[in-house]
Structure 1
């Protein structure tokens, strides 16, 4: 077994624990590691989404089993996320998706601070996401996720939590919806490859061992993450999510200016 398999199995396990429990960061963590290994951005995004087809499926099943899903919110997010994801995949296979990173970083910083602010106040437990917020949010989250190699959770989960959503149901619903968004993005990459639109797709299979490791590690971690989000206190989750978003934004800022 190639050494890369075991490295990325560990990365996939840790990333899925974070993503399944906090509703974000599997794509960001995995893509960042792939980029550090010299994988091109479009290849990294395609590889991570291929792995996420398995990990998000396992995560969705776990959250459904633990009754963490708000089905009303779920069905609002899915079609919007699919639309945004397909558009993002088209853009990434056409231009350099890294041009979006400064804007995402600024957004994440603001949302992280706001979530921490919300965590220090009494949480709103009667929050019902409005359709006018959820649909554009799903499109934006799907687009950034595909074009930037990760961002569905940080964009969608952060905004819904910042608006006062209950972490258990926001995280569970966003994770469950992510399976359909990821599948649509992966199909878009495949169509771009088969139609010749993605001209820089050569060498994609060179990263097969890394993708396999991400899949195995993520699938093993998914049941644990579903348990964590059901039993951890709301305020604790809010604080952890806020700090995580700020750290991710800080790391991306360091990459941009480094």
Structure 2
């Protein structure tokens, strides 16, 4: 597939009425960071890309600038290869009453139906792939999801969406509340996914994290895209300055 056909592109996107238009493209193999002071639009931008929040204006599409498929809701975004990992895994991610295996497979359950019945073997085989790849530390797949540490719950949620084979992975503060070892594992997975051609968008509350992890960073201020930083310009000082409305 040509690169232009795999872009996640926003055209004249407005996050709120009267705010400036945002034009940007997320390309295969990129890790793009989102930053800004709390409540300045970066989370709304990520949720808009995921189809969770409608834009005040403009268009989100997968494909080239002149065409592509317009994203008009979360379900359609998922069908087009967009996966979204929420910030608050307990409130909007995990299903506490269910097992680790059920939490992992709930979004891909249709793949496990054999003769009208759900095949536990199929589910377990797919889970084991990601169990090993992400280093999920768990007693067994049938244990409650709540028996896991926060970091391992996060790995299960990531595995759930990676099982969809997405083209675009949208991550809302993915290392929030996890230990250093889990962070390093996740960083390695993110870089591996990008090398394999996936496009990642990472919103992080930690400036050092996005500077180290991302190829470029979009800095938001007052519900507008204030600055895009990459290469030698992508430093913690430049990100902080942009967050407060200063270009260096």
TM-score between both structures, scaled by the size of structure 1:
0.28
Instruction: Decide which structure has greater strand share.
Output: 2
Q: Which has the larger helix fraction?
A: 1
From the CA coordinates, give the structure whose radius of gyration is larger.
2
Instruction: Give the alignment's TM-score, normalised by structure 2.
Output: 0.29
Q: Which has the higher contact order (CA 8 A, sep 6+)?
A: 1
